[in-house]
């Protein structure tokens, strides 16, 4: 990880005054990614020790990774938007819309599978472009704009194919169901997206500009950074990634489901914030966001293995989020 | 007579900083007492302790001889201590009346707010201060000076015995400042003890009776204003004599780098024309609200140009945004460094590199080595006092933040640099350094356009002074021979100049 503008400055003289445990806690709180990594590792170790027959099996691990794939792809785009001080609530609907268009193209019109994948991703990109135009050209704030398109895109999904498309086709399903090294394709696609995304965001001049926008949009504009254009591009990237997640999901199930991705925006934003983003913008890393997804997936998996009901799972995930963010408060009040 | 406000042996520590150390202060009823010092000297902290916003680590505050313990807003109100904060404490979306009676609205039966009583009492309070304002107006619609008066009315809505004003004129024009002074004198005549926190010397001489000077959290002197001089106060503030020598006209100027011809940008800029040559410092002088900052923004492409043309090196340009202006060799350090200039939550290196991300990258990839090297160069050249290039800019003092802002723009090596209010909120020591930096840049051939509301600063820096009023350029003066009165006469055009306090 490069450290320009990304890591908080070397602990200031204030934090040095603390006692040893507090200093350790501060260092952990200062790097959310590191904290999450420790938590994920601890959770894996504990689960492996207590449930050697259920947890560390190839089947279970593959299932956890596959389930995390969709959200990790989405979190990459969401992290970019949140670093710039925005976010997108419509991703669940974009995901369903993209899946349905891919399904319609391949299942109904008989297009080749690859064309279906591309059209799905393109639909996602287009939906993202519309979001971006509403935010940057009409000047409507991202919360309201994407809240509106959340329902609009979902409506379009029902209009396109009211009952969904099942099955889509064997050539199409191969893209989501083929197995490599014991895990299905969506995981490997996710790994590629996340790796490239993390590298770009940490290292390139182009993406580094998003940190400046989130840090102070007005100063960024006066520094010659094209805030509006970059914001628009951020929404398009988010849309493309949601489209990608949508077609992968449809391909994995061999079915375009109109209700796919409902509420996914909330769990993705949860993971993004847990991974170090703030609503004010200017901070966060893709690695942090992905670890956030992984952590939530592991917590849910652990609770399933423990036989804890779905209602409790929701409560626990909420508490984990609050805990993560209160560490932030601790960090800020003790750094001044 | 016992002192109305008496503070004895006040000490206050913030993490890593001894903000106040054994500070004592006494203010009589009816006295306007200045609290003077550089930024970070502890003036605001002392004011806040007296008003009960902070609690002191040691020492005691007495109001009319009675010891005051740790108090809060409500308790301070009951004791008759009011404070008008530097940052302001008003809610823009609410009406004047609601702000004045925030949390203490007069109520009728069942706790219903008695709006009529609230309006009437607000109107009376404002009239007391010599202002006629509709109490139902939203505060967000008011100009800064009137908002300031509402702040005072809010403090006055209690039975006031002591009032603390923390840098009240920072956002005010000269006329508004004079108005505020009248209000202060009226209050003092009624026996209110006023503590006036400021670092503007001229205001202290125009308004105050006594002055306590702070430096690094300690009292360095207590004087009667009538028995002291500006030089003595500056010496007490900085511990040394400071003289800002005027620019000598020895430099030679090159070709015209930037020219504005009749530019207009609604609603603040109507007709501005001037030129800046290589190696020249041109100051845009005028009252607050004359449209100077807006003129700069219009030139820099940050504000839409409605009419007129901008020429860079004799060629007509049309900028779609600041990025185009930067490509043409222009830089602009804006007025409000916190809001528009800097990324406070980022470190020094990131701020310095914000304008030149391509310069610190190779084939699109940011190199932190290059970024650190560039930041390090400017930290040395501009003598930025920071522990490292990785220190957060928000933790630096005002003067050092201003230097980071300059570094950010010098990093792009502009041909023309616009600097809007180069020393606002900057202490005297850093101020003279910034002057040195700007002069040095000009002597190296940079064309500098400096906006400043501070007349001595304009006279110190300018090779040529362009005066603006009501959105128009109204005259030019030679920097070497102009005096404050000439500038003011142009800036105020038909307004009366005699009673104006002169900002120092």
Domain definitions of chain A by residue range: 32-42+55-335
Residue A237: which pLDDT band, with cuts at 50, 70 and 90?
very high
Q: What is the largest CA-CA distance in chain B?
A: 77
- Looking at beta carbons, which residues of chain A come within 8 Å of B387? 10, 12-13
CA distance, residue A200 to nearest chain B CA (Å) = 8
Are A12 and B388 in contact by the 8 Å Cβ rule? The answer is no
Average pLDDT, chain B: 83
A226: left (phi over 0), alpha (psi -120 to 50) or beta: beta
Q: Please name which of A186, A192, A185, A195 lies closest in space to residue A287, comparing C-alpha atoms.
A: A195
Mean pLDDT of A278-303: 90
Radius of gyration of chain A (CA): 20
Q: What confidence score (pLDDT) does residue A86 get?
A: 94
Mean pLDDT of A118-134: 97
- Reduce the DSSP state of residue A293 to 3 states and report it: helix
The domain B5-238 is placed in CATH, from the list 3.40.50.10490, 3.40.50.1980, 3.40.50.300, 1.10.1060.10, at 3.40.50.300
* B346/A219 Cβ within 8 A: no
Spans of all domains in chain B: 5-238, 254-329+414-493, 338-413
Which candidate from B15, B345, B347 shows the least CB-CB separation from A17? B15
Q: What is the ipTM of this complex?
A: 0.74
Top-level class of domain A32-42+55-335: mainly alpha
Q: What confidence score (pLDDT) does residue A324 get?
A: 76
Between CA B54 and CA B62 the distance in angstroms is 15
Q: What confidence score (pLDDT) does residue A272 get?
A: 93
Residue of B nearest to A18 (CA): B15
- Looking at beta carbons, which residues of chain A come within 8 Å of B340? 216, 218-219, 222
Are A168 and A117 in contact by the 8 Å Cβ rule? The answer is no
Mean pLDDT of A120-144: 95
pLDDT at A29 over 50: yes
- Give the model confidence (pLDDT) of A112-125 as tens digits: 999 999 999 999 99
Packed helices B398-410 and B428-443: angle between N→C axes, nearest 10 degrees: 20
Q: What confidence score (pLDDT) does residue B503 get?
A: 40
B15-29, B100-114, B344-358: the lowest-pLDDT one: B100-114
* A12/B302 Cβ within 8 A: no
Packed helices B398-410 and B368-381: angle between N→C axes, nearest 10 degrees: 120
Q: What confidence score (pLDDT) does residue B240 get?
A: 53
Assigned architecture for domain B254-329+414-493: 3-Layer(aba) Sandwich (3.40)
- Looking at beta carbons, which residues of chain B come within 8 Å of A204? 361, 364-366
* A336/B365 Cβ within 8 A: no
* B16/A13 Cβ within 8 A: yes
Which candidate from A4, A8, A336 shows the least CB-CB separation from B366? A4
Q: What are the counts of helices (DSSP H) followed by strands (DSSP E) for chain B?
A: 16, 22
Residue of B nearest to A10 (CA): B390
Mean pLDDT of B384-393: 87
What b/e sequence results for B85-117 when a residue is b if at least 16 CB atoms lie within 10 Å of its CB, and e otherwise? bbeeebeeeebbbbbbbeeebeeeeeeeeebee
Q: Please name which of A259, A214, A239 lies closest in space to residue A130, comparing C-alpha atoms.
A: A239
Radius of gyration of chain B (CA): 24
Residue of B nearest to A215 (CA): B343
- Reduce the DSSP state of residue A93 to 3 states and report it: helix
Phi, psi of B267, rounded to the nearest 5 degrees: -100, 0
Q: What confidence score (pLDDT) does residue A177 get?
A: 84
- Give the model confidence (pLDDT) of A197-208 as tens digits: 999 998 888 998
Which residues sit opposite B213 in a β-bridge? B36, B221
Average pLDDT, chain A: 86
Omega cis (within 30) before A167: yes
Q: What confidence score (pLDDT) does residue A326 get?
A: 80
Q: What confidence score (pLDDT) does residue A231 get?
A: 96
Q: What confidence score (pLDDT) does residue B246 get?
A: 64
Are A284 and A28 in contact by the 8 Å Cβ rule? The answer is no
Q: What confidence score (pLDDT) does residue B183 get?
A: 84
Residues in A 9-28 with any Cβ partner in B closer than 8 A: 9-10, 12-14, 17
- Give the model confidence (pLDDT) of B293-343 as tens digits: 999 999 999 988 999 999 999 999 999 999 999 999 999 999 888 888 899
Between CA B298 and CA B304 the distance in angstroms is 6
A104-118, A256-270, B106-120, B376-390: the lowest-pLDDT one: B106-120
- Which positions ≥6 away from B411 have C-beta within 8 Å? B352, B353, B355, B356, B359, B374, B378
Mean pLDDT of B250-265: 88
CA distance, residue B11 to nearest chain A CA (Å) = 19
Other beta carbons within 10 angstroms of residue A273's beta carbon come to 24
pLDDT above 90 covers a percentage of chain B that reads 26
Kindly give the pairing relationship between strand B81-84 and strand B269-277.
Answer: unpaired
What do you get for the CA distance between the two ends of chain B, in Å? 34
Which of B14, B326, B333, B347 has the most A C-beta neighbours within 10 Å, making it the best mutation to test the interface with A?
A: B347
- Which positions ≥6 away from B186 have C-beta within 8 Å? B128, B129, B130
pLDDT at A241 over 90: yes
Q: Please name which of B187, B227, B190 lies closest in space to residue B209, comparing C-alpha atoms.
A: B227
Question: In terms of pLDDT, which residue wins out, B324 or B180?
Answer: B324
- Looking at beta carbons, which residues of chain A come within 8 Å of B342? 216, 219
């Amino acid at each position: 990880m490069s450290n320009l503008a990304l890591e908080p400055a070397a602990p200031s003289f204030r934090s040095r005054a603390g006692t040893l445990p507090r200093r350790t806690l501060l260092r952990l709180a200062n790097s959310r990614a590191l904290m999450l990594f420790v938590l994920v590792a601890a959770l894996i170790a504990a689960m492996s020790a207590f449930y050697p027959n259920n947890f560390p099996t190839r089947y279970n691990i593959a299932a956890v990774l596959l389930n995390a794939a969709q959200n990790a792809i989405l979190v990459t785009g969401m992290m970019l938007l949140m670093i710039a001080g925005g976010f997108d609530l419509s991703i669940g609907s974009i995901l369903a819309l993209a899946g349905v268009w891919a399904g319609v193209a391949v299942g109904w019109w008989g297009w080749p599978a690859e064309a279906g994948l591309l059209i799905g991703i393109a639909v996602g990109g287009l939906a993202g472009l519309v979001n971006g135009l509403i935010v940057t050209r009409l000047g409507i704030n991202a919360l309201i704009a994407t809240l509106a398109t959340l329902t609009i895109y979902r409506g379009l999904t029902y209009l396109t194919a009211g009952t969904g498309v099942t099955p889509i086709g064997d050539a199409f399903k191969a893209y989501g169901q083929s197995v490599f090294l014991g895990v299905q394709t969506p995981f490997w696609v996710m790994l590629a997206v996340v790796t490239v995304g993390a590298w770009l965001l940490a290292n390139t001049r182009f993406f580094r500009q998003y940190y400046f926008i989130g840090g102070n949009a007005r100063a960024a504009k006066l520094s010659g950074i094209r805030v509006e254009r970059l914001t628009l591009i951020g929404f398009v990237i988010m849309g493309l990634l949601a489209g990608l997640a949508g077609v992968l999901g449809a391909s994995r199930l061999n079915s375009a489901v109109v209700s796919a991705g409902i509420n996914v925006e909330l769990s993705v934003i949860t993971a993004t914030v847990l991974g170090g983003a703030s609503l004010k913008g200017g901070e966060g890393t893709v690695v942090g966001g992905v670890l956030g997804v992984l952590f939530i997936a592991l917590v849910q998996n652990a609770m399933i293995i423990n036989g804890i009901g779905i209602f409790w799972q929701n409560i626990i995930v909420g508490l984990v989020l609050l805990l993560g963010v209160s560490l932030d408060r601790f960090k800020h009040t003790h750094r001044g | 007579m016992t002192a109305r406000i008496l503070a004895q042996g006040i000490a206050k520590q913030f993490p890593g900083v001894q903000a106040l150390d054994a500070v004592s202060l006494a203010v009589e009823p009816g006295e306007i007492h200045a609290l003077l010092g550089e930024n970070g000297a502890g003036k605001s902290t002392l004011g806040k302790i007296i008003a009960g916003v902070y609690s002191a680590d040691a020492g005691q505050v007495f109001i009319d001889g009675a010891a005051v313990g740790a108090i809060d807003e409500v308790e301070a109100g009951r004791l008759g201590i009011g404070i008008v904060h530097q940052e302001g404490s008003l809610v823009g979306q609410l009406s004047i009346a609601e702000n004045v009676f925030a949390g203490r609205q007069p109520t009728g039966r069942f706790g219903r707010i008695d709006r009529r009583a609230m309006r009437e009492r607000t109107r009376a309070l404002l009239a007391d201060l010599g202002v006629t304002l509709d109490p139902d107006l939203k505060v967000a619609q008011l100009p800064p000076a009137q908002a300031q008066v509402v702040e005072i009315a809010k403090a006055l809505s209690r039975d006031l015995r002591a009032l603390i004003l923390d840098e009240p004129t920072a956002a005010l024009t000269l006329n508004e400042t004079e108005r505020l002074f009248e209000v202060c004198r009226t209050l003092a005549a009624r026996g209110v003890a006023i503590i006036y926190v400021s670092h503007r010397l001229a205001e202290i001489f125009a308004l105050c009776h006594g002055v306590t000077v702070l430096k690094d959290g300690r009292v360095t002197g207590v004087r009667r204003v009538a028995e002291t001089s500006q030089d003595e106060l500056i010496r007490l503030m900085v511990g040394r004599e400071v003289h800002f020598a005027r620019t000598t006209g020895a430099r030679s100027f090159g070709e015209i780098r930037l020219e504005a011809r009749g530019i207009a940008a609604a609603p603040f800029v109507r007709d501005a024309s001037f030129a800046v040559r290589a190696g020249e410092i041109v100051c845009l002088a005028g009252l607050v609200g004359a449209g100077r900052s807006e003129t700069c923004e219009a030139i820099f492409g940050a504000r839409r140009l409605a009419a007129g043309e901008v020429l860079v090196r004799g060629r007509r340009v049309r900028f779609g945004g600041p990025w185009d202006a930067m490509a043409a060799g222009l830089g602009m350090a804006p007025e409000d460094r916190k809001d528009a200039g800097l990324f406070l939550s980022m470190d020094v290196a990131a701020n310095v590199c914000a304008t030149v991300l391509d310069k610190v990258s190779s084939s699109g990839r940011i190199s932190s080595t290059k970024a650190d090297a560039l930041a390090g160069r400017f930290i040395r050249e501009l003598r930025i006092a920071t522990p490292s290039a990785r220190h957060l800019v928000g933790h630096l003092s005002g003067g050092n933040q201003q230097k980071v802002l300059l570094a950010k723009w010098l990093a792009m090596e502009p041909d023309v640099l616009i600097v809007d209010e180069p020393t606002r909120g900057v202490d005297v020591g850093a101020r003279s350094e910034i002057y040195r930096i700007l002069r040095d840049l000009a002597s190296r051939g940079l064309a500098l356009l400096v906006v400043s509301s501070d007349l001595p600063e304009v006279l110190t820096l300018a090779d040529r002074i362009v005066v603006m009023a009501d959105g128009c350029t109204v005259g030019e003066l030679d920097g070497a021979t102009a005096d404050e009165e000439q500038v003011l006469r142009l800036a105020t055009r038909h307004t009366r100049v005699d009673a104006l306090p002169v900002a120092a």
